[in-house]
């Protein structure tokens, strides 16, 4: 039962319980441990063992590491996630396990001569219990704690000091101090060392627990501890790198005052001071990452953010301009106040970086002004903007209705619409509206000075905002505007350059992970439903400009997720009959995006053989949904999930994965995505050579359909907008292949007008990126405009602000765990069991407020490590929870995972499971106990069927983007991920709702030096996330990328150069020399020049391309029989080879862009006589306990 407590307070209580459980003492400074439980098994953190160790552990004490259940638990599992880091420190190999010392390193001014050090720890010794007795009434033997420690003054004398005894009763526990003078500072290394000898029995009595060090000035208050970038000693970054200098400016107030040794350090700094006055070690460090929230509109009086109001025809032209102008005027005023700060002493040292940043921001303010003026002067742009706002208002309201109906299916649709159709639910955030405005000129008028759509002045627009801030809404708004402006403008260009914008793909939205694609499909489908509803409304009112072709959205992701052909889709639909809960194949929506009605493959999918359509209808029992069979006959919901249908119907929005574009050289039908077509069948849609088997010539009349005859058509306008979400994932090998293929994709999405090449508008988004300009240059061959731009302070951009942690604006809180000497799996078991036990206790006490912490999201950097943990959760953790009968009772955990090895059909159902909350009554300890008692007594009660909420979600990198489950509040990260961007993105999946603040526990592996370094610098690392994001690397014209992709890109460029080159056998006739071939050579060479700026590389790209053209011509000329085709067919010799057709050779072409980095399993049989060059050395394991 809820007691009025908030989740913010529950989180704090959970942290306290975990610290008491993992570090101790649980029952106070003089606690007794339960009989039979030694402190080494009770506490994980803050332990120091004696420096001198026995040769073997005494028989009476069993350590967790020696438990047979924890030996050899490594589980090798297949998967395409990155393998776990194998870097380990020397201590692992030499048998040196647990730490015998901890400490810290810091700086003080050279004139400081003495410091005060306070050390404390707990000592456990065998004793007779005061509370536990045997059956005979005698006191039982237990381990009892006694506090120890003391306070000493330390002289800062150059060199190593003699050991200093802190507690006279424990002369074997000493402080060691080393002082080195460096310029105007003293660098001090301070360590607490357990120098005790090891007793023959009761080893735990010589171990220190709950160790702690605190350092202050002699007076206990002076701020003397110097940060690494202290302005008073002239600590400034010495770099000529503009980006690094700007980052130093942004994070100038973040300082590292001390670095831990086998521990982390807390530094206390008073408001208004630069230096710290107190340093303290901690083995359970904490760091708060405050919320970055949208700007307060109070600084923009008169600004209208209500989408419905902005979309209203009642808002006249000048009123619309007045409603939007405050964005630009407010921003410009804020920038003036920032420019005035350049004279401040702390900022003046970084003046060049500050001036440059403010100049870029001023240019964006000017662009905002011009974008608003565009709406004043261009009536079509104004009408399209109104349409986009109307569609977004509908989308926001309907999305809220859908989410509510998923949780409460019995809610009335009419009641929910009334509740959510209010301004607060359908309003822009200022940064979203500003970003939409900034992109309007490019989408409206390629000749506009801010369009940046040319070959030479092309510029990508990067939306840079923290995860969960609302980036998706911004580019959905751009999508709606693009739909509208194309239909309103109709045909653009004249003569051979004429292109029809009333149909065709308007927007390509690309992702890298299928999970992200599947989840965004639901949100995009709501927008497209809104656009289609508005189109029908306008058409019914007599406005024919919106056309008769529905707005549709297509999901283009690959055969493992969606079917390629109608026959395959029809078979899947038939197989799904009677399986109402089946999700996958043609059904990619769990609920209707318009009304929230649950959908099923068995009941809501229908096939139309004559039109080769797979239709999805809403089964709304009230019949009020716009997309029921009665209200939307022959069409249903405007979603397309079969590849063949996407090519034939060219949905206005196509959502796909980047690696799907590997199909370009293989499939002629992909040309329709770019408007390259010249014939249409009224029955089947756009025609390409791939569809000759079912759409060749005329079609006879049927009882339901009129006769149909293919008609010649004008070419369609290619996509005007490309949205690349999660830009930071386009990196490394995948990024290089994407960049190479982008050469031909960019050209196919471009059109010519008056001899001027007009490229599509490119919008990208991310929350974590470094060296974005270099990355965009290498992948997309464009410049970059970042919005909102950072200026003088991290997170403060006018459009966003950083909120100090408070109960109303809680931070995401991180805690570090590093159990030195313990096997990682033992730590995982202890931490998982402790979390689940204490979360259950809090649910029993506080009810729904504890729900965010009842589902443990356990994040791993590799599938192999995850597989091992799954077994541990299902066995060891479950058994441990079952044995904890004193404080709580929790059922055996329900476990699921979100990894690359999951079938796509399971992704949506897992996400739905995550939305399921714990019930304060049905999931309480009391209720579970009662059920057990009833079962034992044979009086089981019949309960209503209920799907259990998830206790544990095991996840890998698939989780880090696109998962938006508001209720999640707890995550454990096992091992520091290899890059900071992954860490930020993954941990941002929890605490997305301010009412349910996030808690992240990172388990560091002490045997990995990189993990240990992050742990020892925990607070500073987390306060400077943005500085620590690694730069990304892509090399699209490297030798390896050329070897893997150039033949495919060349073939795609030639095949999609004209409709005549599309048929498979056109490979026998397309010109391979002359002007047409020169265009392809120039295309690749120019791209290489823009990306590499290396003339030698450009020359080599030309040579490699020409060599392939020559080999193509040679094969064609020397073909003995049949024809040469792009791929093998009956009586056709294939030019291209699939990757699995043998060894990789000149004409091998990938079927997926990820095939450039395959997983290789290597097995070497030494008995094979062919292995005759075996080296004389090997990697045999070193003897246990030391090196050979």
Mean pLDDT of the chain: 88
Neighbours of 235 (CB within 10 A): 15
Q: Report yes or no on 1061 lying in a domain.
A: yes
Q: Report yes or no on 892 lying in a domain.
A: yes
pLDDT single digits (tens) 48-101: 999 865 444 443 333 323 333 222 222 323 333 433 333 333 333 333 478 999
At 1181, the pLDDT band (50, 70, 90 cuts) reads: very low
Question: How big is the chain by its Cα radius of gyration, in Å?
Answer: 33
Which DSSP letter does residue 946 get?
-
Q: Report yes or no on 1056 lying in a domain.
A: yes
At 1178, the pLDDT band (50, 70, 90 cuts) reads: very low
Q: Which two structure tokens, joined as six digits, stand for 41?
A: 């098994």
Question: What phi, psi does 658 have (nearest 5°)?
Answer: -60, -35
pLDDT single digits (tens) 474-506: 999 999 999 999 999 999 999 989 999 999 999
Ordered strands of the 639-640 beta sheet: 639-640, 553-556, 653-657, 507-511, 721-724, 761-766, 459-464, 783-787
pLDDT of 595: 94
Burial of 305 from C-beta contacts in 10 A (0-12 / 13-18 / 19+): buried
pLDDT at 930 > cutoff 50: yes
pLDDT of 1177: 42
Whether 318 and 297 have beta carbons less than 8 Å apart is answered as no
CA dist 281 and 263 (Å) reads 6
Q: Which of 31-45, 732-746, 1032-1046, 1162-1176 has the lowest mean pLDDT?
A: 1162-1176
Report which of residues 531 and 924 the model is more confident about: 531
pLDDT single digits (tens) 790-848: 999 999 999 999 999 999 999 999 999 999 999 999 999 999 999 999 999 999 999 99
pLDDT single digits (tens) 99-117: 999 999 999 999 999 999 9
| Claim to verify: residue 633 and residue 532 sit in the same structural domain | yes
User: Averaged over 1055-1081, what is the pLDDT?
Assistant: 95
| Claim to verify: residue 893 and residue 834 sit in the same structural domain | yes
Q: Report yes or no on 903 lying in a domain.
A: yes
CA dist 24 and 17 (Å) reads 9
Ordered strands of the 139-155 beta sheet: 139-155, 114-133, 209-217, 278-282, 264-268
Structural domains of the chain, count: 3
pLDDT single digits (tens) 363-387: 999 999 999 999 999 999 999 999 9
pLDDT of 1002: 98
| Claim to verify: residue 542 and residue 666 sit in the same structural domain | yes
What SS3 class is residue 764? strand
| Claim to verify: residue 855 and residue 977 sit in the same structural domain | yes
pLDDT of 900: 76
User: Averaged over 206-218, what is the pLDDT?
Assistant: 97
pLDDT at 1071 > cutoff 50: yes
H runs (alpha helix) in 605-731: 643-649
Which DSSP letter does residue 595 get?
T
User: Averaged over 1045-1051, what is the pLDDT?
Assistant: 97
Q: Report yes or no on 731 lying in a domain.
A: no
| Claim to verify: residue 994 and residue 1055 sit in the same structural domain | no
Burial of 675 from C-beta contacts in 10 A (0-12 / 13-18 / 19+): buried
| Claim to verify: residue 934 and residue 836 sit in the same structural domain | yes
End-to-end CA distance of the chain: 62
Domain final residue pick, 697, 722, 750: 697
| Claim to verify: residue 1051 and residue 935 sit in the same structural domain | no
Whichever domain contains 896, its CATH number is: 3.40.50
| Claim to verify: residue 990 and residue 1080 sit in the same structural domain | no
| Claim to verify: residue 637 and residue 578 sit in the same structural domain | yes
User: Averaged over 175-184, what is the pLDDT?
Assistant: 95
pLDDT of 17: 97
Whether 286 and 18 have beta carbons less than 8 Å apart is answered as no
CA dist 698 and 705 (Å) reads 13
Q: Which two structure tokens, joined as six digits, stand for 1165?
A: 């049989």
CA dist 1108 and 1081 (Å) reads 11
pLDDT of 235: 62
pLDDT of 633: 94
Ordered strands of the 812-817 beta sheet: 286-289, 812-817, 999-1003, 970-974, 856-860, 952-955, 895-898
> How much of the chain exceeds pLDDT 90, in percent?
67
Q: Which two structure tokens, joined as six digits, stand for 610?
A: 């004559």
* C-alpha dist (Å) from residue 441 to 310, 354, 367, 390, 448: 18, 28, 9, 20, 6
Closest C-alpha to 995, from 803, 814, 810, 805? 810
CA dist 983 and 189 (Å) reads 30
CA dist 398 and 386 (Å) reads 18
CA dist 222 and 200 (Å) reads 46
Q: Which of 133-137, 877-881, 1079-1083 has the lowest mean pLDDT?
A: 877-881
pLDDT of 410: 83
| Claim to verify: residue 984 and residue 1053 sit in the same structural domain | no
At 784, the pLDDT band (50, 70, 90 cuts) reads: very high
**Residue 1141 is part of which domain span?**
1039-1156
Whether 763 and 440 have beta carbons less than 8 Å apart is answered as no
Q: Which of 49-63, 464-478, 862-876 has the lowest mean pLDDT?
A: 49-63
Closest C-alpha to 661, from 1152, 33, 997, 10? 1152
Q: Which two structure tokens, joined as six digits, stand for 823?
A: 């096997």
Q: Which two structure tokens, joined as six digits, stand for 31?
A: 């606690």
Residue with tokens 């000693």: 233
Q: Report yes or no on 488 lying in a domain.
A: no
pLDDT at 1164 > cutoff 60: no
pLDDT single digits (tens) 627-653: 999 999 999 999 999 999 999 999 999
pLDDT single digits (tens) 286-335: 999 999 888 888 889 999 999 999 999 999 999 999 999 999 999 999 99
pLDDT of 367: 96
pLDDT single digits (tens) 408-421: 888 889 999 999 99
> How much of the chain exceeds pLDDT 70, in percent?
90
Torsion sign (Cα): 1031, 1035, 1041, 1046: positive
Vertex 318: Cα angle to 317 and 323 (nearest 5): 100
What SS3 class is residue 155? strand
Neighbours of 171 (CB within 10 A): 12
Q: Report yes or no on 1077 lying in a domain.
A: yes
Q: Report yes or no on 626 lying in a domain.
A: yes
Closest C-alpha to 911, from 404, 518, 466? 518
The DSSP-derived string for 1023-1088 is: HTHHHHPPPP---TTSHHHHHHHHHHHHHHHHHTTSGGG-SGGGGGTS--SSHHHHHHHHHHHHHH
| Claim to verify: residue 960 and residue 1097 sit in the same structural domain | no
| Claim to verify: residue 537 and residue 593 sit in the same structural domain | yes
């Amino acid at each position: 039962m809820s007691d009025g407590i908030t989740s913010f307070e529950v989180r704090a209580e959970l942290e306290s319980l975990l610290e008491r459980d993992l570090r101790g003492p649980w029952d106070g400074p003089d606690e007794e441990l339960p009989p039979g439980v030694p402190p080494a098994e009770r506490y994980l953190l803050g332990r120091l063992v004696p420096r001198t160790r026995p040769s073997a552990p005494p028989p009476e004490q069993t350590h967790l590491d020696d438990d047979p259940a924890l030996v050899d638990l490594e589980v090798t599992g297949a998967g395409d996630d990155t393998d776990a880091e194998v870097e380990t420190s020397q201590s692992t190999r030499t048998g040196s396990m647990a730490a015998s010392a901890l400490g810290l390193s810091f700086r003080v001014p050279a004139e400081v001569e003495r410091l005060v050090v306070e050390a404390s720890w707990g000592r456990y010794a065998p004793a007779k219990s005061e509370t536990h007795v045997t059956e005979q009434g005698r006191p039982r033997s237990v381990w009892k704690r006694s506090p120890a420690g003391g306070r000493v003054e330390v002289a800062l004398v150059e060199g190593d000091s003699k050991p200093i005894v802190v507690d006279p009763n424990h002369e074997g526990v000493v402080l060691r101090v080393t002082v080195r003078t460096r310029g105007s500072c003293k660098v001090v290394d301070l360590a607490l060392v357990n120098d005790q000898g090891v007793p023959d029995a009761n080893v735990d009595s010589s171990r220190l627990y709950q160790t702690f060090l605190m350092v202050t000035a002699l007076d206990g208050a002076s701020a003397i501890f110097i940060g690494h970038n202290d302005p008073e000693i002239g600590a400034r970054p010495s770099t000529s790198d503009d980006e690094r200098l700007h980052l130093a400016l942004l994070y100038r107030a973040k300082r590292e005052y001390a670095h831990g040794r086998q521990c982390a350090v807390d530094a206390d700094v008073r408001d208004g001071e630069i230096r710290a006055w107190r340093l303290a070690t901690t083995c359970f460090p904490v760091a708060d990452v405050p919320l970055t929230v949208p700007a307060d509109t109070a600084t923009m009086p008169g600004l209208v953010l209500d989408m419905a109001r902005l979309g209203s025809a009642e808002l006249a032209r000048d009123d619309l301009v007045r409603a939007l102008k405050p964005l630009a005027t407010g921003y410009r005023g804020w920038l003036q106040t920032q420019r005035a700060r350049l004279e401040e002493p702390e900022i003046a040292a970084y003046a060049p970086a500050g001036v440059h940043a403010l100049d870029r921001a001023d240019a964006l303010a000017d662009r905002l002004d011009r974008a608003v003026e565009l709406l004043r002067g261009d009536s079509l742009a104004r009408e399209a903007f109104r349409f986009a706002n109307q569609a977004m208002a509908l989308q926001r309201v309907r999305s809220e209705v859908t989410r509510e109906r998923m949780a409460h299916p019995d809610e009335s649709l009419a009641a929910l619409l009334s509740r959510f159709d209010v301004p607060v639910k359908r309003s822009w955030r200022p940064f979203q509206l500003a970003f939409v405005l900034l992109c309007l000129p490019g989408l409206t008028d390629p000749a506009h000075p801010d369009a940046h759509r040319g070959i030479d002045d092309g510029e990508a627009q990067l939306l840079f905002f923290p995860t969960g801030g609302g980036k998706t809404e911004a580019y959905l708004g751009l999508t709606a505007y693009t739909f509208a402006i194309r239909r309103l403008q109709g045909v653009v260009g004249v003569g051979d350059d004429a292109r029809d914008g009333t149909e065709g793909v308007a927007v390509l939205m690309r992702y890298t992970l299928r999970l992200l694609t599947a989840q965004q499909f639901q949100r995009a489908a709501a927008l497209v439903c809104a656009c289609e509803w508005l189109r029908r409304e306008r058409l019914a009112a007599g406005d024919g400009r919106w056309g008769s072709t529905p707005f549709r959205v297509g999901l283009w992701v690959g055969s493992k997720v969606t079917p390629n052909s109608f026959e395959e889709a029809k078979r899947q639909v038939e197989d799904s009959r009677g399986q109402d809960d089946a999700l996958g194949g043609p059904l990619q929506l769990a609920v209707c995006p318009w009304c929230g009605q649950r959908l099923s493959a068995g009941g809501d999918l229908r096939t139309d053989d004559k039109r080769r359509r797979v239709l999805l209808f809403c089964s709304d029992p009230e019949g009020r949904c716009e997309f029921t069979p009665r209200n939307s006959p022959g069409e249903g919901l405007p979603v397309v999930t079969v590849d063949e249908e996407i090519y034939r119907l060219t949905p206005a929005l196509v959502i796909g994965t980047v690696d799907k574009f590997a199909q370009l050289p293989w499939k002629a039908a992909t040309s329709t995505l770019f408007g390259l077509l010249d014939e249409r069948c009224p029955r089947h849609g756009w025609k390409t050579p791939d569809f000759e088997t079912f759409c060749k010539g005329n079609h006879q009349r049927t009882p339901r359909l009129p006769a149909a005859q293919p008609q010649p058509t004008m070419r369609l306008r290619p996509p005007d907008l490309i949205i690349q979400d999660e830009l930071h994932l386009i990196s490394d090998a995948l990024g290089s292949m994407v960049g190479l293929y982008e050469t031909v994709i960019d050209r196919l999405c471009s059109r010519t007008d008056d001899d001027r090449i007009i490229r599509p508008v490119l919008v990208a988004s991310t929350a974590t990126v470094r060296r974005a300009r270099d990355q965009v240059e290498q992948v997309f061959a464009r410049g970059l405009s970042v919005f909102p731009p950072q200026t003088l302070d991290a997170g403060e951009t006018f459009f966003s602000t950083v909120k100090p942690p408070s109960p109303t604006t809680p931070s995401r809180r991180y805690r570090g765990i590093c159990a030195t000497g313990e096997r990682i799996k033992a730590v995982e078991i202890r931490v998982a069991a402790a979390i689940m036990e204490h979360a259950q206790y809090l649910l029993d006490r506080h009810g729904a407020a504890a729900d965010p912490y009842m589902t443990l999201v356990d994040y791993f950097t590799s599938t192999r490590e995850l597989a091992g943990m799954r077994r541990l959760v299902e066995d060891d953790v479950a058994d441990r929870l079952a044995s904890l009968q004193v404080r709580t009772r929790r059922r055996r955990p329900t476990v699921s995972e979100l990894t690359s090895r999951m079938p796509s059909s399971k992704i949506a159902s897992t996400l739905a499971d995550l939305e399921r909350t714990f019930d304060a009554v049905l999931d309480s300890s009391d209720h579970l106990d009662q059920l057990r008692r009833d079962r034992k007594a044979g009086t089981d009660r019949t309960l209503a069927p209920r799907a259990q909420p998830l206790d544990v979600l095991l996840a890998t990198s698939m989780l880090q983007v696109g998962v938006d489950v508001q209720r999640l509040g707890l995550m454990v990260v096992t091992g520091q991920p290899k890059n900071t961007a992954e860490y930020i993105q993954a941990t941002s999946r929890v605490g997305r709702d301010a009412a349910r603040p996030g808690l992240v526990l990172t388990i560091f592996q002490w045997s990995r030096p990189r993990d240990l370094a992050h742990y020892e610098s925990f607070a500073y690392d987390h306060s400077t996330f943005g500085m620590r994001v690694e730069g990304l690397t892509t090399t699209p014209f490297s030798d390896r990328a050329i070897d893997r992709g150039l033949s495919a890109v060349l073939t795609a460029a030639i095949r999609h150069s004209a409709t005549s080159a599309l048929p498979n056998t056109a490979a026998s006739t397309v010109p391979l020399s002359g002007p047409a071939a020169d265009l392809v050579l120039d295309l690749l060479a120019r791209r290489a020049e823009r990306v590499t700026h290396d003339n030698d590389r450009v020359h080599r790209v030309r040579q490699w391309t020409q060599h392939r053209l020559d080999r193509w011509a040679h094969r064609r000329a020397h073909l003995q029989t049949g024809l040469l085709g792009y791929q093998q067919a009956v009586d056709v010799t294939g030019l291209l080879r699939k990757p699995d057709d043998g060894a990789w050779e000149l004409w091998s072409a990938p079927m997926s862009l990820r095939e450039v980095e395959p997983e290789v399993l290597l097995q070497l049989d030494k008995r094979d006589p062919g292995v005759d060059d075996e080296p004389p050395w090997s990697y045999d394991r070193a003897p246990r306990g030391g090196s050979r």
